[in-house]
């Protein structure tokens, strides 16, 4: 009899222990699921004319200061905004020279590179990454020793060798120097046959996807977005992709012939439906989509936001980045 009680007691202790173990494991698992992988500090968020706020996004693994700058339309004004917001507690120069480990340039349009050019005299030695055509444009038209000093390590005139110009081969994963991240480049169509680039950045087993300017496949008569969605769909399905930075430049009223290689809310949703079809129904529910390159005037930006809100039938977690305000992915 006494032994029977003892047996029950041991069993219930074991049972409680097992239950606790399962609960703790589940909690740890869900925390791991929610833990952020990347931090983002937007230095500039708009498309178009506001030269103090053009496309540039700092991305780093969480809890590091090893940022890569995705496009570099505005650099200095964005760093100053981030310092005002207490995102950074060091000087503008220190953020520029020490925190930014390199630049990933999607295409050579000035609203994506002017910050890099203007800040280059004050910058430190680091790598600029771009695909071949984009790199050649930067070498021949900007860092050519005529329109601007050649701060690169190749190209016309006298290369000052501050920047290492690293050409990216499409689809090839390469390390981002002085960070734990890697990058793989994919081509985008931005007024066919002019190309732009998407960067798939990896840290550990998580990813962030940044798209430079792009038109929809239907208007561009291209399959580049389709190929990109096909490549990243497994990462969406496995919940390894933490977010997509993608542009919406114009409201739906913009006629196709005046899109100039950009997306509207209609076209964004159409493209993301292609991604959902490939990744599986419901996979984009609560998925982070960071909307970039909204073009002034302000009334258009308001309209784009309204249209995306009413058309968001995928349950996307739509994020509007703000200059100098940090967020996590």
Ligand X SMILES: Nc1ncnc2c1ncn2[C@@H]1O[C@@H]2COP(=O)(O)O[C@H]2[C@H]1O
Where on the chain is the footprint of ligand X (CB under 6 A)? 47, 109, 111, 213, 260-261
Compute the least distance from the CB of residue 130 to ligand X, in Å: 17
> Using CA atoms, how far apart are residues 105 and 4, in angstroms rounded to an integer?
73
> 55 or 150: whose CB is closer to ligand X?
55
> 61 or 78: whose CB is closer to ligand X?
78
> 48 or 156: whose CB is closer to ligand X?
48
> Using CA atoms, how far apart are residues 188 and 197, in angstroms rounded to an integer?
5
> 261 or 265: whose CB is closer to ligand X?
261
Q: 240, 258, 241, 237: which is closest to 249 by C-alpha?
A: 258
Q: Is 156 exposed, middle or buried (0-12, 13-18, 19+ CB in 10 A)?
A: middle
Q: Closest-CB residue for ligand X?
A: 260
> Using CA atoms, how far apart are residues 106 and 187, in angstroms rounded to an integer?
9
> 66 or 213: whose CB is closer to ligand X?
213
Q: 111, 183, 108: which is closest to 138 by C-alpha?
A: 108
Compute the least distance from the CB of residue 127 to ligand X, in Å: 25
Compute the least distance from the CB of residue 295 to ligand X, in Å: 7
Compute the least distance from the CB of residue 302 to ligand X, in Å: 19
> 159 or 261: whose CB is closer to ligand X?
261
Neighbours of 2 (CB within 10 A): 6
Q: Which residue has the tokens 């570099």?
A: 72
Compute the least distance from the CB of residue 189 to ligand X, in Å: 12
> Using CA atoms, how far apart are residues 287 and 244, in angstroms rounded to an integer?
9
Compute the least distance from the CB of residue 292 to ligand X, in Å: 11
- State the virtual CA torsion across 301, 304, 309, 312 in degrees, nearest 10: -140
């Amino acid at each position: 009899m006494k032994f029977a009680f003892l047996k029950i007691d041991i069993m219930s202790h074991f049972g409680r222990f097992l239950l606790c173990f399962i609960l703790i494991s589940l909690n740890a698992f869900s925390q791991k699921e929610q833990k952020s992988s990347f931090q983002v500090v937007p230095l500039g968020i708009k498309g178009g004319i506001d030269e103090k706020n053009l496309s540039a996004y700092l991305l780093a693994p969480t809890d590091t200061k090893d940022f890569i700058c995705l496009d570099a339309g505005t650099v200095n004004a964005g760093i100053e905004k981030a310092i005002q917001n207490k995102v950074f507690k060091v000087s503008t120069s220190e953020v520029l020279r020490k925190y930014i480990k390199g630049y990933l340039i999607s295409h050579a349009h000035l609203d994506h590179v002017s910050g890099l050019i203007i800040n280059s005299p004050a910058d430190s030695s680091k790598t600029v990454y771009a695909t071949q055509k984009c790199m050649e444009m930067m070498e021949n038209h900007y860092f050519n020793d005529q329109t601007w000093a050649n701060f690169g390590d190749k190209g016309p005139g006298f290369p000052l060798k501050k920047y290492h110009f690293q050409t990216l081969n499409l689809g090839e994963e390469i390390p981002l120097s002085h960070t734990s991240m890697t990058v793989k480049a994919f081509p985008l169509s931005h007024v066919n046959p002019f190309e732009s680039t998407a960067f798939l950045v990896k840290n550990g087993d998580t990813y962030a996807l940044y798209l430079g300017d792009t038109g929809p496949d239907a208007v561009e008569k291209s399959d580049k977005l389709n190929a990109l969605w096909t490549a990243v769909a497994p990462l969406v399905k496995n919940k390894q992709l933490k977010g997509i930075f993608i542009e919406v430049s114009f409201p739906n009223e913009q006629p196709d012939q005046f899109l100039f290689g950009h997306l509207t809310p209609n076209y964004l949703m159409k493209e993301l439906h292609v991604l959902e079809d490939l990744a599986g129904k419901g996979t984009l529910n609560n998925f982070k989509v960071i909307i970039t390159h909204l073009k002034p005037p302000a009334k258009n930006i308001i309209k784009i936001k309204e249209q995306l809100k009413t058309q968001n039938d995928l349950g996307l977690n739509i994020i509007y980045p703000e200059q100098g305000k940090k967020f996590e992915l």
